[in-house]
Structure 1
Amino acid sequence: MADEKKQVLQETVEHMESMLSNNQKFEAKSSWDCVLLSRQSGRPGAKAFISMICDQFMELHGDRSYGDDPAMIGGIGTVEGRAITFIGNRKGANFRENVSCNYGMSNPEGYRKALRLAKQAEKFGRPVVCFIDTPGAYPGLGSEERGIGQAIAQNLKVFSTLKTPVLCFIIGEGGSGGALGIGIGDKLYMLENAVYSVITPEGFASILLRDPSKAKEAAEAMKMTSHHLKEFGVIHDIIEEKSPEETARLIKETIIRDLDNLCSKPPEHLVRYRLKKIRGIGEVSGGKEWWQPLLEVFAKTQSFR
């Protein structure tokens, strides 16, 4: 089974590399394709997009409590003369950076740094832009000892009532509470081949289907792609993926357009409609219920009792 998974992954990687070498766009044919694309090595991360979008950027460090987390990047940038606080998960661009940034899995100090910068932005009237790209928060012993659950919960509370515009972009993996920790805003966008879910397909398959090899089937049942989530009303819109520079340009245009609108609204209105949007997620009316695909997957596995 491991050899079969390795072969499928290798074929997908070769296909993507072939398309990219010919300057063609890779079209994801399934949810599993999107999962692989969202994890693709060399995919532009938060740091790359910030550098392409901002005229100037000054990175800020530390949570003023424990230390600095390299898996979370944050600072102040200017976009066409407007000062914006940028916050994002950082995976790293190569193996050395991947290890240094813990593959984008932040510790509590990362989320407390994000919280500090968000509060600072609110104090000085700066909008906040968040780039999400993480498989989840780091579940290690030290992370738990320093209160990772409390740090994420505090971010959920504060970001939901922040009296300044907040825009969120899922640019790769949007996994679990690690994504939610900087994913509460006035508008939520996804890149075309990004994914967003409460757990990875491998974790879903292991826990609910009792078979890790069924990750492909799990990805389809979870409805975790940008097109599914737009249909459900979880995200506002999908940003088409082209070259990194062109994708950054589309993100920049979205930021400028939305901030021109949101910055003109009273802070109380922003909070009111943000809370209304959050509370509206999960409402289902008519058509095929969201949980029916899950039951169909369960019915196909003999190991689920």
Structure 2
Amino acid sequence: MLLDFEQPIAALEGKLHEMQKLAAESEVDVSEAVAALEAKIKALKKETYANLTRWQRVQLSRHPERPYTLDYIGGMADKFVEMHGDRTVGDDKAMVGGFGEIDGQPVMFIGQQKGHNTKQRQFRNFGMPNPEGYRKALRLMKLAEKFNVPIVSLIDTPGAFPGLEAEERGQGEAIARNLKEMFMLKVPVICVIIGEGASGGALGIAIGDRVLMLENTWYSVISPESCSSILWRSWDYKEQAAEALKLTAIDMKSAGLIDGIVKEPLGGAHTAPEQMIETLKNTLLKTLKELAAIAPADRISQRIDKFSAMGVVVE
């Protein structure tokens, strides 16, 4: 799948493929032309991805070939045992979690899962959890705390499921309880936005000692499309809405709302999934080591202070 702004790069790559095919089928030496075109493609890629608009980064965050939560867990964890159910209503397939190990380090993984094709997306409810999903996440967090295992939360959701039945079962209460309980967890908590971070659906598993964002992801109280539909009564102004929302990783870091940005491969995480997974794995191991050196009471205090300071204006 090619995005609009990737068309010029794709056109050059097509010419490169034709040149390489010509060289393979004939004795014509086109090595200099191939090298020049490869350098041109590389330069164009660097220029394009270094100057993406906020809406273009939103598009990249939704790319269907990006790695999802279970892809990261499968690539990082030596062992993973998925756990199911909230012990009250049922098992929400949009929220996944379980114990795993990263290079021998036990970790409780929790995250939203979207699915790679239409059937999987329907099964996973397009990554939109119901209340039982957030209650399952909290159950797993408390289990991790019981066994003194750090928590890694991988966030990728267009929002909590907005259906009537979700509200009837206490969607708002479930998210609010998670916020309250996550502040007081005694174990280290690392939250990483790996795709979309929309509204309370993302925040419900995003209270941590360290909150990180992948380079081409977004985090906001509302999506650009929904913002556009409210302000302009149309989705046609989503690009302007994205600019106004300032929802990219760079924006969040400059506003002090996240702690760090994880670099993606040139072109986005979907262009080199294995490299992206390895990068995130190394970042998590480094961060876990840093957090392990802090006493639990101090971690909780720092966590509360960090989030309490957000939005405070001093004149």
For 1:16 and 1:267, locate their aligned partners in 2 and report how far apart those are by CA, in whole Å: 49
Q: Is the 8 A contact 1:107 1:138 kept in 2?
A: yes
The residue number in structure 2 matching 1:137 is 160
Question: Looking at CA atoms only, which structure, 1 or 2, has the larger radius of gyration?
Answer: 2
Matches within 5 A, 1:1-305: 11-12=4-5, 14=7, 27=49, 29-242=52-265, 243-284=272-313
Question: Which sits farther off after the overlay, 56-65 or 12-21?
Answer: 12-21
For 1:155 and 1:209, locate their aligned partners in 2 and report how far apart those are by CA, in whole Å: 33
Structure 1 residues 250-299: Cα deviation after superposition (integer angstroms, max 9, x where no partner): 2111111111121232211111000000011123569xxxxxxxxxxxxx
- For residues 162 and 95 of structure 1, do their structure 2 counterparts lie closer, same or farther at Cα, with a shift above 3 Å needed? same
The residue number in structure 2 matching 1:292 is none
- For residues 41 and 20 of structure 1, do their structure 2 counterparts lie closer, same or farther at Cα, with a shift above 3 Å needed? farther
SS in 1 for 2:174: helix
The residue number in structure 2 matching 1:299 is none
Unpaired segments of 5 or more residues in structure 1?
Answer: 1-8, 287-305
- One-letter code aligned to 1:178: G
SS in 2 for 1:238: strand
- One-letter code aligned to 1:43: R
TM-score (norm. length: structure 1):
0.86
- For residues 158 and 216 of structure 1, do their structure 2 counterparts lie closer, same or farther at Cα, with a shift above 3 Å needed? same
For 2:142 and 2:263, locate their aligned partners in 1 and report how far apart those are by CA, in whole Å: 31
Structure 1 residues 200-224: Cα deviation after superposition (integer angstroms, max 9, x where no partner): 1111111123332111000001000
Q: Could you tell me how far 1:187 is from its partner in structure 2?
A: 0.5
Q: Could you tell me how far 1:14 is from its partner in structure 2?
A: 4.8
Q: Could you tell me how far 1:19 is from its partner in structure 2?
A: 9.1
For 1:164 and 1:20, locate their aligned partners in 2 and report how far apart those are by CA, in whole Å: 48
For 1:240 and 1:151, locate their aligned partners in 2 and report how far apart those are by CA, in whole Å: 32
- One-letter code aligned to 1:233: G
- One-letter code aligned to 2:83: L
For 1:20 and 1:282, locate their aligned partners in 2 and report how far apart those are by CA, in whole Å: 45
- Runs (4+) of structure 1 exceeding 3 A deviation are 12-26, 283-286
Structure 1 residues 115-162: Cα deviation after superposition (integer angstroms, max 9, x where no partner): 000000011100000000001000101111111111000000001111
Structure 1 residues 70-126: Cα deviation after superposition (integer angstroms, max 9, x where no partner): 101100110111110000010011111111111100001110000000000011100
- One-letter code aligned to 2:292: C
For 2:189 and 2:273, locate their aligned partners in 1 and report how far apart those are by CA, in whole Å: 23
For 1:197 and 1:100, locate their aligned partners in 2 and report how far apart those are by CA, in whole Å: 25
- For residues 228 and 51 of structure 1, do their structure 2 counterparts lie closer, same or farther at Cα, with a shift above 3 Å needed? same
For 1:244 and 1:10, locate their aligned partners in 2 and report how far apart those are by CA, in whole Å: 18
Percentage of pairs with the same residue = 46
TM-score (norm. length: structure 2):
0.83
Q: What do you get for the CA RMSD once the two structures are aligned?
A: 2.1
- For residues 17 and 137 of structure 1, do their structure 2 counterparts lie closer, same or farther at Cα, with a shift above 3 Å needed? farther
For 1:116 and 1:274, locate their aligned partners in 2 and report how far apart those are by CA, in whole Å: 20
For 1:20 and 1:148, locate their aligned partners in 2 and report how far apart those are by CA, in whole Å: 47
- For residues 145 and 261 of structure 1, do their structure 2 counterparts lie closer, same or farther at Cα, with a shift above 3 Å needed? same
- One-letter code aligned to 1:162: L
Structure 1 residues 8-48: Cα deviation after superposition (integer angstroms, max 9, x where no partner): x9624756877999896761610000111111112111110
Count of paired positions: 278
